Amino acid sequence: MKKHNFSAGPCILPQEVLKQASDAILNFNNDNLSLIEISHRSKPFIEVMDKAIDLAKELLKIPKGYSVLFLQGGASMEFLMVPLNLMKINGKAAYTNTGVWAKKAIAEAKKLGDVIVLGDSSDTNYNYIKKGYKIPVDSDYFHCTSNNTIYGTQMKEFPMSPSLMVCDMSSDIFSRRIDVSKFDIIYAGAQKNMGPAGTTLVIVKDDILGKTGRDIPTMLDYNTHISKGSMFNTPPVFPIYVSMLNLQWLKNLGGVEAIEKLNQEKSDLLYSEIDRNPLFEGSAAKEDRSNMNVCFLLNDSSKEDKFNTLWNAAGISGIKGHRSVGGYRASMYNALPIESVEVLVDIMKNLEKN
């Protein structure tokens, strides 16, 4: 039976990427050596790293003056690296509080300076994105989270910041067009739309660094990794290789412009059924609904066992909602085919009819 993978992360990946990656584990570049046993400083892997960086630059139209890094530690490490590299001694930063991961980023920044919390939607369990706040001119930087996987909300537009602009795009990077020039740092864990867990994409504007007056630990200094081409220490070879394959797949598909259209079609299809079907309702404010993570509730709890039986029997995986929200969450990352969404919609219709 074909599986329909709606997991919130690690993400679904294209079958052709998984096949290429599995082949490389056994025999990389026809050298009769595994990808994960060759030197990370060998010419074959340096070519992988260079290609991954070039593809990221091409797909996101990253302007000159920015460095692209593949680091370790996940987005959680960036929660600390961002204030270390941008917040001045006795400085302050502004953060939006739109969910669990934004809250964790705030907690790390507070260890280094003052944090002004803007756009706090915790009053309704983060089911909407606040707008219309003013970012303090004297803040060292402004930090936001573009998409909130747990609650199914997404920033459709970004505010203009009078200070440096930082965004955690872990769960919607490469899913829609963005103007990188409006940001000073963008970071994203690979496991939501790019590859397996283990590497983090960081896009950083070169001329903003080295101005905090801090003595930054070597491993946590962006300049360290820029100067060494993401190879200051042994990089996570396999996640970077699979990310490179996945970015090449995206380019072959038509790039970010093409996938944005497909992602919109998938989300329109599912949200239309949620709004039409009296058995279901969306849990996020309509104007802030995420195209990546569709969160919804079953209005009649007596139908829950039947619904669960139906989607399990159809080969659907990973649609149980996060424990803090309940209900269901259909994560529809780039590689999820629209056919999987059609299967889920058909099941929702069948539940209504029967």
Residues recognised as catalytic: 101, 168, 192
Beta bridge partners of 345: none
- Do 315 and 342 meet the contact criterion of CB atoms below 8 Å apart? no
- Do 169 and 177 meet the contact criterion of CB atoms below 8 Å apart? no
DSSP 8-state symbol, 188:
E
Cα separation, 210 vs 203, in Å, equals 16
Find the helix packing angle between 237-253 and 255-276, rounded to 10°: 80
Cα separation, 292 vs 146, in Å, equals 11
Cα separation, 173 vs 117, in Å, equals 24
Q: How far is the CA of 98 from the CAs of 3, 107, 144, 301, in angstroms? A: 32, 13, 8, 28
